[in-house]
Amino acid sequence: MKKDYLEIRWHGRGGQGAITAAKVVAGAAFSSGFAGVVMAPTFGTERRGAPVMTSLKISKTKIYDLSPIEKPDIVVVLDHLLLKEADVTHGLKPGGIIVLNTPMAHETHHFKDFKLATADVTAISVEAGLPHGMVNTGIIGSLERAANLLGIDLLIERIEEEFRTRRPEKNALAARLAYERTATGG
Amino acid sequence: MHIIEDGNAAAALGVRLCRPQVIAAYPITPQTPVTEKLSEYVEEGSLSAQYIPVESEHSALAVCIAASSAGARVFTATSANGLLYMHEQVQWAAGARLPIVMCVVNRAVGAPWNIWNDQQDSISQRDTGWIQMYCADHQQILDTVIKAYWLAEKVSIPIMVCYDGYILSHTFMPFDLPEARAVDAFLPPFQPEYALNPREPANLNTVTLPDVRMDVHGELAHGYMEIRYLLQEDLRLALGAAAEMEKRFAGVFGREADPYLEPYRCDDADFVAVGLGSLTYQLRVSVDALRAEGIRVGVMGVRFYRPFPDEAIARALTGKTGVIVFEKALSYGYEGALASDLKSALYEYLGGTGRLPTVQNFIAGIGGREIHTQDLTDTLRAAIQARVSKEPAWIGLKL
């Protein structure tokens, strides 16, 4: 990762595992020497299926500001249908990155002023042997392809650790396949 | 070993390291994960304690009072209306001089119903005779729990370890999880001076007369007023014990801290922002921004709120032009309780010297209203430039 400070906002649905995904990236960042990692879910409104957000801040130094992210560098969207329900690009910095799980072709999505990375993480995860709808490890592969944060090997190592009792190989494979098949540019 | 967990996990892990023998708690958001984790530790056998489920917070603290009276190390945790519901027992625990440690995961109180963070719950218990310590991050939560057991048992006074709901309780960040043997070296097993013993029946804290009297042994026994005076005296002496606590803690864990205050860029500051909890860390970002503009400002967290470290605060603020107190609670009908306490300390030590700093009071984040760092920066800058016209002033109010 080139920057000393980065803000990533995750958009998912309650129960989709966005918090766990952000936690995996947080752990990888900390073990790479980022002394400050803070991950904060939105509070009090979590319901299964409802749109939820999680903030992840990554810094070379300790983070003292725990307030929610206002101007993210990256937004990660675990379900393309959220585009209709939530303003996912709200506050996203010009030139910022959108990582999107979508079954639609890359060219069908248009975001002015932002860089887009897409993959059908839902299908890829099923191919990796995960139950339908489990996308929170695959999306980490897409995020790494899009933003070149911490190295896919380290992230997969952390995924295997986080999911050591829950299909570690399949989760790792989902991240690897998504990393390889994420489309960027345009 | 560093781990990344949320603030409630930091509290639960700290509690487990202190080896409590009895835990009784009633779940309430945002405290619930603390009770869930502790019950899991007991279930899986990683914590050897009696976990006693109760039907209310009042009963939770009643169980802790009974177990502590019998000589057990005990723990409970609560938030908001749960704390208010145990208020009678809160008073009792202090009067009975029991070294109970309780986490208060700070949350707004009803009505109207609200589950988000402010500090009205613990501030409303300020005058109960408990020690109150406030935490600004997860390391402080874990460390303060460990320190609290040492101090509570040293002075026989219960302690509330307060940390902001959600902002700390549900936010993940890295912190160092100490080795059990280090905690054991710092915190010996609880050895009460007196413990209930069924073979030697006794009455504890029964009706105590207004005046002193001869007891059954023919010795002069304290009246109610003597007992209450000694609570006050021992609370004031706890300030000295807290200094010893920090020194011992630093000796074992290598993390040194001032026992009462946590100043940041205050040495050459003309103005100092003061507050409790995570807000004071957020204010550091504002202080850095204003320093970059050439404004000499610092921020000071008050970690130890009761007993109030009046002398340390007055000393830290001597020579300052102004003090700006930010609070997530207030004494309704007047102003923030911390602002009042701080003014009182300044008057006591600097009154008549002609060097009293101005004190301004801001209320923020009530009921979880989001506190934008930019708003804090702008508020601080404006308060330094000119005194606000109406106090306490509420930040981010939309009327």
Residue ranges of domains in chain B = 2-186, 261-394
> How does the average pLDDT of chain B come out, rounded?
97
Check CB contact of B47 with chain A, cutoff 8 Å. Answer: no
Q: Does A81 touch chain B (CB under 8 A)?
A: no
Query: Is 3.40.50.920 the CATH number for B261-394?
Result: yes
Question: Which CATH number describes the domain made up of A5-184?
Answer: 3.40.920.10
Mean pLDDT, range A30-56, rounded to an integer: 86
Residue B315: phi and psi, rounded to 5, are: -65, -45
Give which of B2, B4, B281 to mutate to test A binding, by max A Cβ within 10 Å: B4
Region B24-53: mean pLDDT is 97
Min distance B283 CA to chain A CA atoms (Å): 8
pLDDT in tens, B42-71: 999 999 999 999 999 999 999 999 999 999
Q: Is the pLDDT of residue A43 over 70?
A: no
Confidence of residue A25 (pLDDT cuts 50, 70, 90): very high
Average pLDDT, chain A: 93
Tell whether B113 lies on the interface with A, counting CB pairs under 8 A. no
pLDDT of B195 strictly over 80 = yes
DSSP E strand stretches across A102-150: 115-119
Q: Which two tokens stand for residue B215?
A: 């007891």
Q: A48: pLDDT confidence band, cut at 50, 70 and 90? A: confident
- Contact by Cβ (8 Å): B325, B301: no
The CATH code of the domain at B2-186 is: 3.40.50.970
Interface ipTM above 0.90: yes
pLDDT, one tens digit per residue, over A80-138 is: 999 998 899 999 999 999 999 999 999 999 888 999 999 999 999 999 999 999 999 99
pLDDT number for residue B193: 87
A39 touching B (Cβ < 8 Å): yes
The yes-or-no verdict on residue B311 having pLDDT over 80 is yes
Best to test chain B binding among A23, A32, A43 (most B CBs inside 10 Å): A43
In terms of Cβ atoms closer than 10 Å to its own Cβ (0-12, 13-18, 19+), residue A184 is: middle
Domain range summary for chain A, segments of one domain joined by + = 5-184
Q: Is A149 helix (H, G, I), strand (E, B) or coil?
A: coil
Q: What is the mean pLDDT of residues B136-156?
A: 98
Contacts of B284 in chain A (CB under 8 A): 64
Mean pLDDT score, B117-134: 98
- Cβ contact B115–A26 (<8 Å): no
Tens of pLDDT along B207-259?
999 999 998 889 999 999 999 999 999 999 999 999 999 999 999 999 999 99
Tell me chain A's radius of gyration from C-alpha atoms: 15
Written as one letter, the residue type at A87 is D
Cβ A30–B171 below 8 Å, yes or no? Answer: no
Q: Which residues contact B229 (CB under 8 A, 6 or more apart)?
A: none
To the nearest whole Å, the CA of A186 is away from the closest chain B CA by: 35
Residues of B in contact with A30 (CB under 8 A): 2, 4, 174
Mean pLDDT, residues B264-274: 98
Burial class (CB in 10 A: 0-12, 13-18, 19+), A44: middle
State the smallest CA–CA distance between residue B291 and chain A in angstroms.
16
- Taking CA atoms, what residue in B is nearest to A59? B173
Other residues' Cβ atoms within 10 Å of the Cβ of residue B16: 22
Which amino acid, residue A14? G
Q: What is the pLDDT of residue A50?
A: 83
Give B316-349 pLDDT, tens digit per residue: 999 999 999 999 999 999 999 999 999 999 999 9
Confidence of residue A17 (pLDDT cuts 50, 70, 90): confident
From A65, A68, A70, residue closest to B285, measured CB to CB: A65
A41 touches chain B (CB under 8 A): yes
Pick from B170, B174, B370: CB nearest A68: B370
Task: Say whether B339 sits in a helix, a strand or coil.
Answer: helix
CB contact, 8 Å: A46 with chain B?
no
Least reliable range by pLDDT among A39-48, A53-62, B142-151: A39-48
The span from the CA of B61 to the CA of B55, in Å, is: 11
Q: Assign A46 a pLDDT band (cuts: 50, 70, 90).
A: low
Taking 70 as the threshold, does the pLDDT of residue A14 lie above it?
yes
Nearest to A26 among B172, B282, B285 (CB): B172
Residue B277 has a CB neighbour count (10 Å cut-off) of: 28
- Is the model's pLDDT at B283 over the cut of 70? yes
| B338-392 pLDDT per residue, tens | 999 999 999 999 998 999 999 999 999 999 999 999 999 999 999 999 988 889 9
